[in-house]
Amino acid sequence: MNLKANQILGQSLDLTKQYLTDFVNYPELNQDLVLTFGEGFDRSQCLSLLQSLIDSNFRTLPQLKIVASEAINYAHGAYSFNNNTIYLSQEFLINNVDNIDAVAQVLIAEIGHYLDWQINLEDAPGDEGDIFAALVTRKELDVNQLNLLKTQDDRVTVEIAGEKLSIEQTGIIYVDVNATGKNNGSSWINAYQDLQDAIAVAQSGDEIWVADGTYYPTTETDRNLSFQIPNGVKLYGGFVGDETKLAQRDWQKNSTILSGEIGKINDNSDNSYHVVDVSNLSQDSILDGFVITGGNANKHPVTSGGGITSDRSKATLTNLIIQDNAASYGGGMYVNESQLSIKNVIFEENFATHDGGGLYSNDSNLNLKKIVFNSNYASDSGGAIYNYNSSPLLHKVKLQSNHSGEDGGAIYNYNSSPHLTKMLFLNNTAINHGGAVFNGYSSSPIIKNSIFRSNIANVAGGSIYNNGATVDLSVINSLFTQNISQFGGVIYNDHNSLHLINSTLVDNLGRYGAAIESEGNQNTIRNINNSILWHNPSVMGNHSIADLLEDTLVSYSLVEGSYLGVNILDQDPLFVDANNFDFRLTADSPALNQGNNDLINQSSLDLAGNSRIANHIVDLGAYEGIELPPQPTIETNPTIIYVNANATGNNNGTSWLNAYTNLQDALASAKFNSQIWVAAGTYKPSQSGLGEAEALSDRNVSFQLKNGVAIYGGFIGNETKLEQRDWQKNFTILSGEIGNLSEQNDNSYHVVNASGTTNSAIIDGFTITSGNANNSSDNFGGGIYSEQSQAIFANLIVKNNYAFDGGGLYSSDSFNQLYNVNFANNIVNHNGGGVYTNNSHLIISNSSFGQNHAEGDGGALFNYNSNPILTKINFSNNTAADEGGAIFNDYQSNPFIINSVFRANASIASGGAIFNHGSTVDAKYVNTIFDTNNSELGGAIYNYYSNSSGINNTLINNQAKSGAAVYTEGDEETKPVFTNSIFWDNQDQVDSTLIVNQDANTIVNYSIVEGDYLGKENLNSDPLFVDAATGNFRLQANSPGIDAGNNVFVTTEIDLAGNQRIINQTVDLGAYEYFPSVAETTANLWDFEQDQIALSYGVDSTVALLI
C-alpha cells in the first residue's frame, strides 16, 4: 500500500472518531441504537465500547487489517467475529486516496458489525453495519430504505491466510432483473431485481453492480420518480451476472438499460421526467456502463434534462449511451452549476423543443472527453449542445448530423467560452445561422486542431456564426471544407473579433463570402494569419473573403484571387490529394516555410499531430509539410446490407447471394453508418417481414429513410465496389403501385418518406414512381415526402407521381440537397407539379424538370417562404393551368437561379416560365436562358410587385399576348432590374413591346433589347447568335453583345457553357461569353458540362482527425 493511502487511512480514522463523538451526544442516540441493533442489546456495554473507540483504547478495539479485495469477496470492508478483526480492501483505499469520507463510511459500517457481535446475543437482522453508518453520519433513512437494509444478508464465508472466517461485509450491492434468489443484493444469486432497492440501501463508498436488462424508475406511473444516485456511490452496468471483478464486464455487449418508458409503450407523453438524477454529488460518485433512454421532461415546471439532470454536482459519468430522450431544454442531459467529468459517452437522437438537443449546460464547467453527439435536434438553438454562462473543456469530441431549427446546428454559446481541441464537426445543419457553431453574447471560444466538414446554415455561417461585438473567436490549426451557407460559407462575422491562425479553408460554398464574410465597424479586430483559403467559390461576387468595410487584416497567407495584405500568395497550394480530403502539403507546395513564427506557439502540434515547425519557419495552413506520415483517420467502415428481389439465399442481407428480397427488411435492420445496396428490379412499400401481397391495402406505408443510412440503387447484383454500379442502366424502381395495376387511386400516398432525417440520410440511384397523395389529410408529396429533413437525394428519376401539392417532392421545414435528379411527368391538382417547398431551403444542381403539370401554379416548382439555390437546371415543357409554367415564387421566397435553361414552359394566365408574387419575393437569375416560353401575360417572367433581378440572361422566342419577355405589375416601388442581358425575337401578340410595365418600372441596363428600351447603354442590334434556329445562342465573333456589358454586376466566374465569364476584360451580354475556340462549334445549350461547384454528400468512410 502506498504512503498516501496510509495517510488517508489515518485521516479516515480521525474522521471516524469525530463522527462517533458527535453520535454519542445526539438526543436521538438511544432511538438510533434501537433502530440499528434491535430492542435486546446491552446498552451499557455499547456505550462503553463506543467511548473506547473514541478514546482509542486499543485493548478493547478490534484489529484492523488491510487485505486484497479478493480476500473479502471483493467488498470494500468486512468484519469477522471469529478473530475480532476489521478488514479493509487495499484497492478501495488506493482508489479513494482523495476521499476520506468514503473510507470513514466503510470503517463506521464495520464498527457497527463489531458492536453488534459484542452487545447482542444474536446477529441483528439485515445489514446493521450500513444502518449504523447512515445514522452515525446523519444520513436520513426513509421507511423503505430501512426495511430493505433490515432484510439484507451481508454474511459470507471466506478464507484468509488458510483460515475459514465468517464475515459481514460492506461494498458491492448486486442487481439483476432476472435473479431468483433472496432479493437482498448480497451476491449475483441473491441480487436485487429492482435497481431502486439497491440505491435505497447504498452508502457512500458502496458499489452497485447491475446486470444487463432493462430497469425502470418505478413500476407505477409516477413521472417524478427517477434513479437518484446517492453521494459517494459508484453505479456500474454492463455485467452478465457472474463477474467477480469490475474489469470482467463488457458494458457495450451487455446492455444495461435505464428507461423512462414507465407508461404506455411507444408513447413518451407519460414517460419519466428524468431517468437519472446525479445532483449534489461529489467527484467520487460514478455512473458507468448504462444506456439511458426514454426520459421526457415536457411538463412545467419539469422541463429540462429528459435523460439525466444534474444540479450542483461533480460526479463522474463514463461509458454511457444517452439516446432518445426529450425535454424543453437539454433533451439528453441538463446540468446546472455543475462540474461533471464526462468521458466516452454517446449522445444520440435526443430532442429539445427549445434549446440543447443533446446537452444544456447552465452556469457549469464541464470536462468532456471522447464524446460523440450524433443526430440530436433542437427546435430552437444548439442541436447538440447549448452553453449558457458555461465554459466547458471539450477534447476529442465528434459532433455529427445534429440540427437546430434556428441557430447553432451543433453548439450554441451564450456568454460562454468553451475550449475545443481535436474536434470533428460533420454534417451539422442550422436553419438560420451557424451550421456547426453559433457564438452569442460575450462568448470567446478557442478552437484548436479541429475539422469542420459539410456543415450547412441556410442564412449565414456554414460552420461558424459570430454574433456581436462581445464575441472573440480564436481558431488555430483547423480545417474547413465543403461547408455551405448563403453568407459566409465557413465563418460569418457580425461586428465581432476573429483570430484565424494556421488554418485551411478549401472547397466551401457561399452566395457571398464563400469562406468568410464580415460586417462591423472600425473598432473590430479580425486577423487571418498563416492560413490557406483556396477554391471557395461564391455564386455572387467571386469573393472568398467578403468584407463590407475591408478591415479584415490578412497576412502571411495563401488566398485564391489574392487579397490586400502582407505577404499574400495566390498560387495553387498543391495539396497531397484534395479529391480525397487530404489537404496536407506536398514537397513542392508554395505554402512551405511562408508563415510567421511570431504568430504561433512554437511548441504546438499541427492538425496531424506533427511538430508545428518542421524547418525553422512555419508552413501555411493546418498541416506542416514535413515528410508525410500516414494520414490519421477515423475509420467508420459502413456496414453493407444487400437487397435483390431475385435472390434465393438465406434472405439476411449479408451478401448478394443471401440478399434480402424486400427493401423494407433491409431498412428495418440497418443501423447508423450502414449502406444498403439494391439490385435492379421493382420494389414496393410493404411492412418489414411481410411479402408485398400482404401490404397491398396499406397506402400509408412508405420507404422511410433513416439517419446514418445511405441507400444506393443501380446494381446488377455482383458488384464489390460502389463505383461499379450503373444506375442509369440497371433501373432500380421504387413504385407506389401496390394495388390494381390499372388503378392509381389505391397507390401508396408517398413512395419515399424522408421526414425527420439529417443529411446523413441518403437515397441515390433510383426511379421513384407512382405515388399518389390524394387523401384529404395526406395529400402532399406523392413521390417523396420530406418534413423537417436534411436528407440528400442524388441520381434519381422522380416521375409519374400525383398529389394535391408537390407531385414529385414536398419539402417542408427542410434543407435538402438534390444532385442529378430528374423530375418528369408529375401532376398536382393544386401547386408545384414537380416540387413544392414550404419554409425550406433546397440546394439543387445538375438536375431537370420536364413535362410536370400543376392545375394551379408552378408547373415544375412552387416556393413558399423558401430560398432554393438552383444551379445548372433544365426546365422544359412544364405547364401550369394558372400562373408560373415552370416556377411560382410566393411569400418571402428568394430563389437564386444560376446557369440554367427555361425552354417551352407555359402557363394559361401569367408567367410562362416564372411568376414572382409579392413585394417579399426577390428572385435572381444569372447566366440563364429563357427560350420559347408562353403565357397570356409575361411569356418568360411575370413580376407582381416583385423586385426580382437578372444578370447575363438571354430571353428569346418567348410569346405572350402582352409582355412577351417580361410583364411587371405593381407600383412606384416595384423595380425589377435586368443587366448585361439580351431580349430578342420575343413575340408579343398585342403590340411589339417585349417588356410591359403596369404601374411599375422594369429597369434594363447594359443590354440588347429588340425595339429599344430606355436604360443605360442599351443596344437595339441583332445579337448575331451562332444558330438560333437550333438553340445555339452563343455569340458570333462579330456580335454587338461582345464586351458590351458592365463588370460591376458580374457575380459568377463561369458562363452557362462553363467557360470563363470575362474573357477580354469586359463581360459580354447574355448567358454565354464569346470564346473563340468553342463559339463556332455545334455544341448546344443542353450539353451541360460537369458542375463547377461540386457538392459533397455521403456517409464518410474516413475523416482526417484522430479521436
Q: What is the three-class DSSP state of 997? A: strand
Residue 777 burial class via C-beta count within 10 angstroms: exposed 0-12, middle 13-18, buried 19 and up: exposed
- The three three-digit cell numbers of residue 731, written as one number: 433501373
What is the arithmetic mean of pLDDT over 1084-1090?
A: 34
1079 vs 276, which has greater pLDDT?
276
Q: What is the three-class DSSP state of 132? A: helix
Task: Write the pLDDT tens digit of every residue in 984-1021.
Answer: 999 988 776 789 999 999 999 999 999 889 999 999 99
CATH number of 203-379: 2.160.20
Q: Per mean pLDDT, which range of 353-367, 421-435, 688-702 is the poorest?
A: 688-702
Q: Per mean pLDDT, which range of 297-306, 318-327, 503-512, 616-625 is the poorest?
A: 503-512
The pTM for the full model equals: 0.72
Q: Tell me what pLDDT residue 697 has.
A: 65
Would you place residue 658 in the very low, low, confident or very high pLDDT band (cuts 50, 70, 90)? very high
Task: Write the pLDDT tens digit of every residue in 105-122.
Answer: 888 888 888 888 888 877
Q: Tell me what pLDDT residue 1097 has.
A: 33
Q: Tell me what pLDDT residue 629 has.
A: 44
CA distances from 226 to 145, 236, 280 (A): 16, 17, 15
What is the arithmetic mean of pLDDT over 57-63?
A: 66
Q: Tell me what pLDDT residue 679 has.
A: 98
619 touches 595 (CB < 8 A): yes
What is the arithmetic mean of pLDDT over 687-697?
A: 51
Distance (Å, rounded) from C-alpha 1052 to C-alpha 514? Answer: 12
- The three three-digit cell numbers of residue 406, written as one number: 434556428
698 touches 721 (CB < 8 A): no
What is the arithmetic mean of pLDDT over 363-372?
A: 97
Q: With a cut of 80, say whether residue 1077 has pLDDT above it.
A: no
Q: With a cut of 60, say whether residue 1100 has pLDDT above it.
A: no
Residues in the chain: 1107
Q: Tell me what pLDDT residue 63 has.
A: 82
Percentage of residues of the chain with pLDDT beyond 70 = 91
DSSP state of 127: -
Q: What angle do CA 666, 668, 674 make, to 5 degrees?
A: 60
Task: Write the pLDDT tens digit of every residue in 815-827.
Answer: 899 999 999 999 9
Distance (Å, rounded) from C-alpha 802 to C-alpha 704? Answer: 19
What is the arithmetic mean of pLDDT over 662-668?
A: 95
- The three three-digit cell numbers of residue 837, written as one number: 417547398
Q: Tell me what pLDDT residue 628 has.
A: 45
Q: Which helix (H) or strand (E) holds 201?
A: helix 195-201
Q: Tell me what pLDDT residue 698 has.
A: 87
Q: Tell me what pLDDT residue 687 has.
A: 57
878 touches 849 (CB < 8 A): yes
* Residue type present at position 464: I
Task: Write the pLDDT tens digit of every residue in 245-267.
Answer: 899 999 999 999 999 999 998 88
Nearest alpha-carbon partner for 659 in 634, 676, 638: 676
Residue-range domain boundaries for the chain: 3-170, 203-379, 389-622, 633-848, 900-1087
Q: With a cut of 60, say whether residue 549 has pLDDT above it.
A: no
Q: With a cut of 50, say whether residue 507 has pLDDT above it.
A: yes
377 touches 406 (CB < 8 A): no
687 vs 234, which has greater pLDDT?
234
Q: Per mean pLDDT, which range of 22-26, 121-125, 720-724, 969-973 is the poorest?
A: 121-125
Q: Tell me what pLDDT residue 1078 has.
A: 43
Q: With a cut of 50, say whether residue 682 has pLDDT above it.
A: yes
629 vs 548, which has greater pLDDT?
548
CA distances from 711 to 707, 732, 842 (A): 11, 11, 20
What is the arithmetic mean of pLDDT over 30-43?
A: 85
Return the beta strands (E) in 477-515 as ranges.
479-481, 484-487, 491-494, 497-501, 504-506, 509-512
Task: Write the pLDDT tens digit of every residue in 924-962.
Answer: 999 999 999 999 999 999 999 999 999 999 999 999 999
CA distances from 269 to 263, 308, 780, 788 (A): 8, 17, 28, 21
Q: Tell me what pLDDT residue 1104 has.
A: 28
Distance (Å, rounded) from C-alpha 145 to C-alpha 200? Answer: 5
Would you place residue 1053 in the very low, low, confident or very high pLDDT band (cuts 50, 70, 90)? confident
Q: Tell me what pLDDT residue 548 has.
A: 54
795 touches 768 (CB < 8 A): no
Q: What is the three-class DSSP state of 1022? A: coil
Distance (Å, rounded) from C-alpha 247 to C-alpha 650? Answer: 38
Give me the DSSP letters along 707-737.
Answer: TTEEEEEEE-S--SSGGG--TTTS-EEEE--
Q: Are strands 934-937 and 709-715 parallel, antiparallel or unpaired?
A: unpaired
Distance (Å, rounded) from C-alpha 663 to C-alpha 149? Answer: 54
Q: Tell me what pLDDT residue 550 has.
A: 60
CA distances from 703 to 593, 642, 744 (A): 54, 16, 18
Return the beta strands (E) in 134-212 as ranges.
155-160, 163-170, 172-175, 207-211
Task: Write the pLDDT tens digit of every residue in 557-596.
Answer: 999 987 888 999 999 999 998 888 899 999 999 999 999 9
Distance (Å, rounded) from C-alpha 1025 to C-alpha 1008? Answer: 12
What is the arithmetic mean of pLDDT over 264-271?
A: 90
Q: Tell me what pLDDT residue 857 has.
A: 98
Q: Which helix (H) or strand (E) holds 1014?
A: none
CA distances from 232 to 316, 506, 690 (A): 11, 50, 52
* Residue type present at position 748: S
Q: With a cut of 70, say whether residue 332 has pLDDT above it.
A: yes
Q: Tell me what pLDDT residue 158 has.
A: 56
Strand pairing partners for 230? none
Distance (Å, rounded) from C-alpha 377 to C-alpha 813? Answer: 13
CA distances from 300 to 217, 304, 328, 329, 649 (A): 20, 9, 10, 12, 54
Map grid coordinates 441507400 to a residue. Answer: 711
315 vs 485, which has greater pLDDT?
315
Three-state SS sequence of 857-891: CCCCEEEECCCCEEEEEEEECCEECCECCCEEECC
Q: Tell me what pLDDT residue 354 has.
A: 97
What is the arithmetic mean of pLDDT over 435-451?
A: 96
Q: Per mean pLDDT, which range of 46-55, 157-166, 965-974 is the poorest?
A: 157-166
Task: Write the pLDDT tens digit of every residue in 771-789.
Answer: 999 988 889 999 999 998 9
**Average of per-residue pLDDT values in the chain:** 88
